[in-house]
Amino acid sequence: MTNADAAAASAPPPPSLSPLITTDITKEMIMAMTGTKLRAELESRGIPKSTKHKTILQQSLLDAINAPISTVPIVQHESMMSLNITAKWVLLISNPAPIPNPDNPDKHL
């Protein structure tokens, strides 16, 4: 047995998902969840859960249904706190043909 094999054998197993965290989730499952389960699902996705209203929690989870799930609490850098955890970067490609400025026929606007 090599040192790498021994280290791999003695390493702790990877953390399993909490029993409150569901990986395959449907709209019907979200609508049937309790407030505690909704909060746990939102926390696993790094979504703020500051409300006590079940309908708002349900809508937040529906909006983040495809967000990645984490087994540890997600902590954002302070400069990213105003962004939703599910926000993604999109590379913008410049258009080589200029787009003319719009012409508004009503000059009073």
CA distance linking residue 92 with residue 89, whole number of Å: 9
Residue 27 belongs to domain spanning: 3-75
Asked if residue 56 belongs to a domain, the reply is yes
Give the model's pLDDT for residue 71: 65
Residue with tokens 């902590």: 75
Asked if residue 109 belongs to a domain, the reply is no
Asked if residue 91 belongs to a domain, the reply is no
Give the model's pLDDT for residue 70: 66
CB atoms within 10 A of CB 109: 5
Asked if residue 102 belongs to a domain, the reply is no
DSSP state of 80: G
Give the model's pLDDT for residue 66: 74
Asked if residue 10 belongs to a domain, the reply is yes
Domain count of the fold of the chain: 1
Instruction: State which amino acid sits at residue 84.
Output: N
What's phi and psi for 31, nearest 5 deg?
Answer: -65, -25
Asked if residue 34 belongs to a domain, the reply is yes
Asked if residue 84 belongs to a domain, the reply is no
To the question of pTM greater than 0.85 for the whole model, the response is no
Q: Give the tokens for residue 3.
A: 């040192």
Asked if residue 101 belongs to a domain, the reply is no
From first to last of its 109 residues, the chain has per-residue pLDDT tens of: 555 555 555 555 544 444 445 567 888 999 999 988 888 888 877 777 777 889 989 988 888 887 767 666 666 677 766 676 666 678 888 888 988 888 888 878 7
